[in-house]
Amino acid sequence: MSYPLESQTLAALRDTLLPSPLSGELRIPDAHSTAERVLA
């Protein structure tokens, strides 16, 4: 089974959230609202 939409969504979420904590731009409590914006 192929899940292209789910894969694309997860990739967008990963690309948005992963660099931020590593650079100090995103605090963990802010991650939820950022994730909601990506998934909207």
pLDDT the model gives residue 28: 67
Task: Examine the pLDDT at 27 and tell me if it is beyond 70.
Answer: no
Q: Are 20 and 32 in contact (CB under 8 A)?
A: no
Q: Please, what sign has the CA dihedral across residues 12, 16, 19, 22?
A: negative
pLDDT band at residue 39, thresholds of 50, 70 and 90? confident
The token pair at 15 is 């690309």
Taking only the tens place, the pLDDT of each residue in 13-23 is: 888 777 665 56
Q: How many domains in the chain?
A: 1
pLDDT the model gives residue 3: 84
- Domain boundaries, position 26: 4-39
pLDDT the model gives residue 22: 59
